[in-house]
Amino acid sequence: MKTILIVEDEEAIARVLGAYLRKAGFAVTRAADGPGALESFDASPPSLVLLDVMLPGLDGFELLETIRSKSSCPVIMLTARDGIKDRLAGLNGGADDYIAKPFVPEEVLARVNAVLRRPSQWTDGGRRRHFGSLFVDWEAHSVFLNGAEVSLSPRDLSVLLFLAERPNQICTREQLLEYVWEMDYEGSDRAVDLSIKRLRQALSHWPATEGEIRTLRGTGYQLWVN
């Protein structure tokens, strides 16, 4: 059974979300503040985190940064702050989705299921492939660079696996939005650019002589390999 950690200081919201998630077959844990969320996360890592931004003790953006420093666990942010700057801050920080309050529980459940489905669509018969010192394992949904696992959010990992399945081919933003974001993202395609930026940072030690993620202005992106 997959476990969802709800990090929400409003008791009524946490209670309703928990009821819907349990009815859908998930186990649910809850934390009402940032420090409590970290303690719960470390004690029993969840399958996904529903993370409110406005929290006592440690806000959602700080908590997201801490989670991303040690885990690729999916994170969906919940917040009444619906400005584009806040959305981009969450997505740029590695969140997998961003839901503005007020919301209906059915929408949250649908997005939870969509995010948890993303890694499985890349399973491809146990294929593994080396691109120089970069090793991609589609079956394990993992990436290694110089023998060390690269920590990526599920969405960023899906972008990299999508590009790696098509080495030296041009992939448009529209393709990435359709196959990775499943066309459920209502913002601009800036989210794709931010994901690519994070991937380049994560692969900064990959020698340029072996490969790189290239931007083709006005067209899209390409995983170029030598």
Give the closest residue to 222 by CA, choosing from 177, 140, 155, 162: 162
DSSP β-bridge partners for residue 78: 52, 99
Distance (Å, whole) CA 224 – CA 135: 14
Helix, strand, coil in percent for the chain, rounding step 5: 40, 25, 40
Identify the CA nearest to 80 among candidates 56, 55, 62, 114.
Answer: 55
pLDDT in tens, 180-224: 876 555 555 688 899 999 999 999 999 888 899 999 988 899 999
pLDDT of residue 188: 54
How far is the C-alpha of 10 from the C-alpha of 221, rounded, in Å?
Answer: 41
Residue 191: its pLDDT value, please? Answer: 83
> Distance between CA 8 and CA 56 in Å, rounded?
10
Selection from 10, 18, 1 nearest residue 109 by Cα: 18
* Residue 119 structure tokens: 């890694």
- pLDDT per residue of the chain (226 residues) written in tens, 0 to 9: 789 999 999 999 999 999 999 999 999 999 999 999 999 998 888 989 999 988 888 888 899 888 887 777 889 998 876 666 766 677 667 787 888 888 899 999 998 988 887 543 333 344 678 888 888 887 778 899 888 889 998 889 989 998 998 888 888 888 888 878 765 555 556 888 999 999 999 999 998 888 999 999 888 999 998 7
Is 217 exposed, middle or buried, given 0-12, 13-18 or 19+ CB atoms closer than 10 A? exposed
Q: Would you say domain 123-225 falls under CATH 3.30.499.10?
A: no
Residues whose CB falls within 8 Å of the CB of residue 72, separated by 6 or more in sequence, listed in order: 151, 152, 153, 154, 157
Domain spans, the chain: 3-119, 123-225
Please report which helix (H) or strand (E) contains residue 184, including its range.
none
pTM for this predicted structure: 0.58
- Domain 3-119 -> CATH class: alpha beta
For the record, the structure tokens of 37 come out as: 């969320």
What is the pLDDT at residue 87? 67
Q: Looking at residue 22, what is its pLDDT? A: 96
Q: What is the pLDDT of residue 122?
A: 35
Beta strands in 42-154 (DSSP E): 48-52, 75-79, 97-100, 128-131, 134-137, 142-145, 148-149
Write down how long the chain is.
226
State the number of CA atoms in the 13 A half-sphere of 95 facing the CB: 28
